[in-house]
Amino acid sequence: MPKIITEPQLDFNNVLIRPKRSTLKSRSDITITCDIDFNKNTDVVYETRKWHGVPIISANMDTTGTFEVYKVLSKHKIITAMNKFYKPSDFVDFEINGNTLDPNLFMISTGISDENYAQLRIILQVVKCNWICIDIANGYIQQFVHFCRKVRDLYPDKIIVAGNVATREMVEELIINGGVDIVKIGIGPGSACTTRMKTGVGVPQLSAIMECSDAAHGVGGRIVADGGITCPGDMSKAFGAGSDFVMVGGQFAGHDENPGEIVVENNKKYKLFYGMSSKHAMEKHYGKMNNYRSSEGRLLKILYKGPLNNTVEDFLGGVRSTCTYIGAKQIKDMPKCTTFMVVSQQLNKTFI
């Protein structure tokens, strides 16, 4: 018999953060970098598992997980999850052309097929990287957990991110049995994702973050909130809800550094952005979309935004400002300083 959860499940637009008295004087007083030691659950201490940076990740999508995006984000100590379609030669060519890759500030992404596993091993033989992102749309299958464990056993010195899931039990499973350090949270919240419409499956992102962060922290792991960020305030809400990292897709798309030509329609400039489970992505990378599946992503036109650096600084400024409103001296203090209020409206849209 079907079960019903009657307790309200909330998304970012259902809440606001309640302001609190603060002794902070300026946004410049806020520390947005974090120091995280991922050696907590390991018998051997690896220097490669000690990380310093800003806990924001550019999503491993075609348009945001690229070398050009990395060049901008690395200057801010933000991580870029490279898309899984980069070949070993792409990394070699990038460095041969005079570029450097900071092993702390990018991730190698992979699926879970035998071919993906083989390519992951080759890439990590030719490029120094401390992060692995194991990424599939449905992180609830047992094969996914087995793959994560296989990668963990082969690379005990790496920081492993894996997902996506949105509930407590799979977070615990991936950390305890899969050996994952950070679980990627989000089923259907992304702007280019249609999973909820096509399957009826999903969990509102704010509630998912709160449940999954509690589960992860209870077993010595961490989470990254993946999807649903529409503005700097949403990023602050994700951190306030307990997320250790926040992954951004659409908000980091549409810039000069994102691939693709500018499209002009009705005197407005756009760039393309699409979900990695969309028909467009399937046909681009695999030549077709198999008839046993449906497209769970959209092809979108995003208003052209200019330099990516402007958007990054806007988001970082927003998070700093949130911290001054709630008395959080650093990002990692935000959960203990955050009280959410359920609201019927969060923005006056009279002139929008």
CA distance 177 to 219: 11
Q: Among this protein's residues, is 148 annotated catalytic?
A: no
What is the full DSSP assignment across 141-182? SHHHHHHHHHHHHH-TTSEEEEEEE-SHHHHHHHHHTT--SE
Pairing relationship of beta strands 299-303 and 131-135 according to DSSP bridges: unpaired
User: Considering 64, 195, 311, 322, which one is annotated as catalytic?
Assistant: 195
E strand segments, the chain: 15-17, 34-37, 50-58, 78-81, 106-110, 131-135, 159-165, 182-185, 222-226, 245-248, 263-265, 268-274, 299-303, 340-342
Q: Among this protein's residues, is 195 annotated catalytic?
A: yes
Cis peptide before 164 (omega within 30 of 0): yes
User: Considering 193, 311, 323, 324, which one is annotated as catalytic?
Assistant: 193
CA distance 261 to 304: 10
Structure tokens at 26: 């300026």
Contacts of 157 (CB under 8 A, 6+ apart): 46, 48, 49, 130
CA distance 90 to 251: 25
E strand segments, 24-174: 34-37, 50-58, 78-81, 106-110, 131-135, 159-165
Distances in Å between the Cα of 42 and the Cα atoms of 105, 215, 222, 223 are 22, 19, 15, 18
CA distance 272 to 119: 28
Active-site residue numbers? 193, 195
